[in-house]
Chains A and B, each alone.
Chain A
Amino acid sequence: MLKKWTAILLAASLGLSAGCWDRQEVEESFVTIAAGVDTCPGNKLRFTEQIPLPPPEAKGKATRTEKTAPTGPSFVTISTVADTFTDGARKVHLNTPRGPLWQHAACYVFGENFSRQGFAGEIDWLQRNRQIRKIGYVFITRNATVSEVLKVPTEVERIPAVALVSMIKNQDTSLGIYTPIKLGDFLGQSITPGIEPTAPGVEIVEEGGKKRLRISGTAVFKQAKLVGWLNEKESRGYRWLRPTMIIGGTKVIKCPICDKPVLLDTLRSTSKIKAEIKDGEIIMHIKIREEGNFYEQKCRHQLVTPEMIPILNREAEQLIAEQVRAAVTRAQELDSDIFGFGQALHSAYPREWTRLEEHWEEVFPTVKIELDVQSEVRRSYLTTRTLEFRY
């Protein structure tokens, strides 16, 4: 009898315990692909959200065999003015009939002015909101507002937010200038003592009367405020010191014989920072181990030989060291410890760190670095010799 009633109770509970309580119907939702925030007169925030629109053929007019190129708009960018981030995001309901799905947000764009004023206390919502995954990429606008950036139509990728994410990821593995940063890491570095966050910049450029988006510069933060930018060379130097393994990138060195450009690519690179206090001076021992392949040359000299490869390796090491030094010098000028030297000091000298932490911003510009770079050319893809043209 007991078994029978238990079974009935369990069966009845199935209907009540189904996970419909927090349901959000797809038909009643839109996907937020990018969100951003900028300053607005009157001490208010301008919240901007980008929503991708379904392509025209998905609206049921065209069948699979009658595919046509999408002609209508592929996204819509909505901006609202509010006191807080959340308020701004919810005011979007005044413009759209559906509710947002934040889980697919691929990028977060902060305005340059907003970043210069400082985001402390302004983006609490991003950390607290359970629907926001912290894996979206962070960008800072340059000489433009967030809504201006998110309204620029992109050609190959129909949605600007998706284009931005693809651009930053692809340049990382192929070109290797700027360091992508995810929201979780950005927020984490903002609150961790001994390290400051950076984020790639994005600007609008005009080419042939058409507006395009371009990744440009690395924004350097200090105490949650944008304090300056790293240029291309400095951004490369910063990238070499990334704590995780670097995969991809290029190095342009000179041919040891004729000074013409030679391009080596990077397969992988790792770095380690170890702090040392010597005679009251703080020294950061930076060890970089990089390996890559010979990729391109503009001269006719045979460079992939046992004699020339060590020379190319030394050239690449010098280039990497130069880029790292440029990045460190710039960061020290801006007084922002973007490399995590403070953390390295904390790990090696916890007692000294407690003493130095409070006035680290005064100490950081005096920190010296000692570089130990090893670069190795391993392979040369399909050819070892260059083409010998008859000219």
Chain B
Amino acid sequence: MNDKISGFQLYSISIFIIFATAIIYEPRHVIEIAQSNGWILVLLSGIWGLLLAWLYSQLIKRGQTGFVPLVESLMGKWVGRLIILLYLVFILFHCALSLRLFTDFVISVVMVVLPISVLVAALLLASAYIARQGITALAQLCQILIWVNSIFALLILLAVTGQVDWNNLLPVLPEGILLLARASWKHTYPYTEAFWMVLLVPFIHDKKRAGIPLLVSVLFAMFWFSSFILLITAYFNHYLAGIFTFPAFSMVRGIYLGEFIQRLDALLIAVWINNIVIKTSLLLFLFAHTGADLLRLQNHRPLVLPGTLIVAPLSILIFDNVAQIQNFHDQLFHLVLLFFTVVLPLVFFLISLWKRGENRAQKMDSHTTCS
């Protein structure tokens, strides 16, 4: 069975995981900080994102047989295993958090009376089924849905364009770009989600050229984020946009073109449902696959169900209310994510460079001794 994923599939998965939850909560956060220049802030953050995509592509090149062997070889067997264990815990937490962020959106504004447990169960059942099918099925699904999402998102953006007031984007950079550049690192975290592609190493068809789909996915994510935030700000102005919990959703609800094009919220919700199902499936698959590697299991499938059973109650119990969610998302989440997707990968990369240098030196020594 061919279980390799192509460059386009890698790009599709990467953009899905970058977008899934960030598009729901990040616009408000960015607009609150950068006001009418939020769209520039996400572009600046994207530059960090491009650098990180390069870092991840280097790790993919080095981890030929998989993420677990790579970490074990770099950090030693036991420290490596401990780090992998931390990653497994974080993947489950991240999966539960993403699910909660999305379900909270749905229950806040779409299906208010629906018990959260029912929605979580429905989404997790679908995601667990996809995760059990394996990465090939997931990649094929992404390959199809990326077109659906892109077309829907483009339609929404085009429809909004006719109703915006471009003056709301003024003034542009009133205090210079440096102030925004300083704040940009904090908003890099959506792009750091591309790190999860490193855990897919054994399945990537062309590891040497994996950097291209990763870089392209970050570039496209920059385009989409920036466009959405630009139009949200132009549509509402930054005072009002910063008050909405889900500004993208509020903007789409306001579309009213030609007296008949309206109520496009269904398109946005469809896009977001696709996003969250893909993200949850991928995180469940990564947990099962990495866990199976750590436990030296032949197959990832036995670990999908336990992972699902942990994520379900965790996603419901993790927060009591929307204020706690926002507080955590705005204050802490990026730090936790940056630790796992920037700090640790950077350490792996530096150690790999150091070890490679050491190997070269040893080879040179042995060559000199022989001659």
On A, residues with C-beta under 8 Å from B are 247-248, 267-268, 293, 304-306, 308-309, 376-388
CB–CB B245/A380 < 8 A: yes
A267 to B115, CA, bound (A): 9
Closest to A387 in B: B243
Provide 28 A-B residue pairs closer than 8 Å at the C-beta atoms, listed in order of the A residue: A247-B113, A248-B113, A305-B323, A306-B323, A306-B324, A306-B327, A308-B323, A309-B320, A309-B324, A376-B321, A378-B107, A378-B320, A379-B104, A379-B107, A379-B108, A379-B321, A379-B322, A380-B108, A380-B323, A381-B109, A381-B245, A382-B109, A382-B244, A382-B246, A382-B250, A383-B243, A385-B242, A386-B243
Give the shortest distance, in Å, between B244 (CB) and chain A (any CB). 6
Question: Smallest distance from the beta carbon of A255 to chain B beta carbons, Å?
Answer: 16
Q: Could you tell me which residues of chain B, from 162 to 212, have a CB within 8 Å of some CB in chain A?
A: none
Query: Bound state CA distance, A380 and B243, in angstroms?
Result: 11
Bound-complex Cα distance A386 to B109 (A): 17
Q: In the docked arrangement, what's the CA distance between A276 and B113, Å?
A: 34
Chain A nearest CB, measured from B119 CB (Å): 13
B286-311 contacts to A, CB under 8 A, are none
Binding site for A on B (CB under 8 A): 104, 107-109, 112-113, 115, 239-240, 242-246, 249-250, 320-324, 326-327
A376 and B246 form a contact (CB under 8 A): no
B243–A309 touching, CB < 8 Å: no
A383 touches B321 (CB 8 A): no
For residue B242, which residues in chain A have a CB less than 8 angstroms away from its CB?
Answer: 385
Provide the residues of chain B in CB contact with A378, threshold 8 Å.
Answer: 107, 320-322
Picked from B108, B239, B240, the residue with its CB within 8 Å of the CB of A381 is B108
- Shortest distance between the CB of B269 and any CB in chain A (Å): 14
Docked-complex contact A380 and B322, CB < 8 angstroms: yes
Check if B112 sits within 8 Å of A383, measured CB to CB.
no
A382 and B245 contacting across the interface, CB-CB below 8 Å: yes
Identify which of A248, A377, A379, A383 contacts B244 (C-beta below 8 A): A383
Contacts of A247 in B (CB 8 A): 113
Interface centre among A309, A376, A386 (most CB of B within 10 A): A309
CB distance from A386 to the nearest CB of B (A): 8
- A376 and B326 CA atoms in complex are apart in Å by 17
Name which residue of chain A comes closest to B319, CB basis: A378
Do A376 and B112 have beta carbons less than 8 Å apart? no
With a cutoff of 8 Å between Cβ atoms, the chain A residues found around residue B240 in the complex are 387
- Quick check: B245 and A384 within 8 Å, CB to CB? yes
For A384, give its contact among B107, B250, B323 (CB under 8 Å): B323
- Chain A residues, Cβ within 8 Å of B108: 293, 379-382
A306–B321 Cα distance when bound, in Å, is 8
Please state if B112 and A304 are interface contacts (CB–CB under 8 Å): no
A219–B167 alpha-carbon span in the complex (Å): 60
Cβ contact within 8 Å between B323 and A309: yes
Q: How far is the CA of A388 from the CA of B250 in the complex (A)?
A: 18
B249 CB to nearest A CB, Å: 8
